[in-house]
Amino acid sequence: MRPTLSAHPALLGLAGFLALAAFGAPAPARAEAPAPEPAATAPAPGPAVSSFILGNGMRAVVIEDHRAPVVTHMVWYPMGGADSPPGKSGIAHYLEHLMFKGTDEIPEGAFSKIIAANGGSDNAFTGPDYTAYFQRIAADRLDLVMRMEADRMRDLEFSEEIAITERAVVLEERSQRTDNNPQSLLNEQLGAMLYLNHPYNLPVIGWRHEIETLNRDDALAYYRRYYAPDNAILVVAGDVTPEEVERLATIHYGPLEPSGQPPAARPAEPPAMAPRRLTLADEKVRQPYVLRRYLVPSRGTGDTRTAAALEILSQVLGAGITSRFAQAMEQGDKSAIDTGAYYYSGQRDATGFTIYAVPAEGVGLAEVEAGLERVLEEVREGGPTEDELSRIKRKMHASDIYALDDQQSLARRYGAGLAAGLSLAEIAEWPAVLQSITAEEVREAAHLLQPEASATGWLVRQTAEEEQG
């Protein structure tokens, strides 16, 4: 996004920051899943979803929503921060910025102005696994936005001067969102430490010293290899019919030549053998805290029920004042003023499960870290109660119902899922899988949070004396 959402989550506060920071190639074959338990709550009725594939390999999904004459048009490229060539971290995000600079038909900077002049809005965002571009506009303008998006898929044009200027914009974004924010720096360092070999250890925005070397040739080489219909996923949600979307897609995207170059294979992560730790000291820190991230399976790695159990475990441990961490450490012994847990199930490869605690006045980081471990061990031993499980499932069920009212959220759900290698059926069935998870499965998921597959960070305030020393 200009600026990219995934590049600056720290502005949302600690809980929101962790939720965003934690966020193509076919996924590995999935293990045979056991027969699901009866759902505790009937899943919310899903929208009408259909799909087609153009002759050049472009995949498309249509999500019908006829309540208002509005459409969300998205194009997802399942290549993101983790698909950077060696020494070119941040290239996907850099190119995202340059994609708004013009084509042979659209002058520099005119893309968003045209969308706005037609009553719409547009933007883009980059994550570890994808880069996506979207417009939200009146349904009768779908032809316009599809023509414009197809135009910049293969005909992007910008000068070296524009490339250098935009590189400076990205560097300033990194300064504001990461380099000047100890919370973001800790999260970045923790990710680099958790992944020893997999490119999830790269920040989506890129390392500063590598961003400084990016240029027009780098961006165009990445663009020409990956930005093509056979590497793209079209998602259209709103007041449309599948027939009309396919007709327009055939007109605008159909003539584009495929690249024939799928994303490069990613290196595998070696077995975890020892816990990793770091302490980050900074004079700008106002409130120290402890942050731990465990390496665990994601939906993209193939075990849907394990991913669902981890999702519920994150709610048991750290979602709100009724969670185990909050009850034990905020309401109980008063050792912490804030606690939480977050799990991002949607990554293509192994993902992170994060827990954190902000100590109360006079309480040390070692004490709150021990408190997190103590509560986690209780869940490993006994699992959640049926009351906890029922409450969490009701909350998730309500969220699923509300999500059906958010056209753009639905489009993102399907786009991100397909970019992670999930099928349409797996995306649609996810709410029902969550409802079917048992307390025993949640307890078993807690045993996946093992010290040897973890990275722990302490954020502390650096005093003037320490800085001078």
* Tens of pLDDT, residues 356-366: 999 999 999 99
Cis status, amide bond into 128, omega within 30 of 0 = no
- Do 2 and 124 form a contact (C-beta atoms < 8 A)? yes
Residue 9 is predicted with a pLDDT of 31
What is the enclosing helix (H) or strand (E) of 154? helix 142-154
* Tokens (6 digits) for 328: 């034990």
- Do 235 and 51 form a contact (C-beta atoms < 8 A)? no
Confidence of residue 463 (pLDDT cuts 50, 70, 90): confident
Domains along the chain with CATH numbers: 5-252 (3.30.830.10), 276-468 (3.30.830.10)
In whole angstroms, give the CA distance from residue 279 to residue 365: 11
Buried/exposed 1-31: b ≥16 CB within 10 Å, e otherwise: bebbbbbbbbeeebbebbbbbbbbbebeebe
**Identity of the residue numbered 83:** D
| Cα separations in angstroms, 450 against 197, 276, 292, 296, 375 | 19, 12, 11, 9, 14
In whole angstroms, give the CA distance from residue 437 to residue 92: 36
Residue 209 is predicted with a pLDDT of 98
Query: Could you give the residue numbers annotated as active site?
Result: 96
Q: How far is CA 291 from the centre of its chain?
A: 19
**Whole-prediction pTM:** 0.88
| Contacts with 185 (C-beta within 8 Å, 6 or more apart), sequence order | 178, 179, 280, 282
Residue 344 is predicted with a pLDDT of 92
Residue 464 is predicted with a pLDDT of 56
- Comparing 5-9, 50-54, 57-61, 216-220, the range with the smallest average pLDDT is 5-9
In whole angstroms, give the CA distance from residue 156 to residue 115: 17
Residue 469 is predicted with a pLDDT of 47
* Tokens (6 digits) for 244: 């009309």
Of residues 204 and 320, more confidence is placed in 204
In whole angstroms, give the CA distance from residue 220 to residue 89: 15
In whole angstroms, give the CA distance from residue 83 to residue 103: 25
pLDDT score of 385 more than 50: yes
pLDDT score of 435 more than 70: yes
Residue 31 is predicted with a pLDDT of 35
- Do 97 and 435 form a contact (C-beta atoms < 8 A)? no
Confidence of residue 27 (pLDDT cuts 50, 70, 90): very low
Share of the chain above pLDDT 90, in %: 85
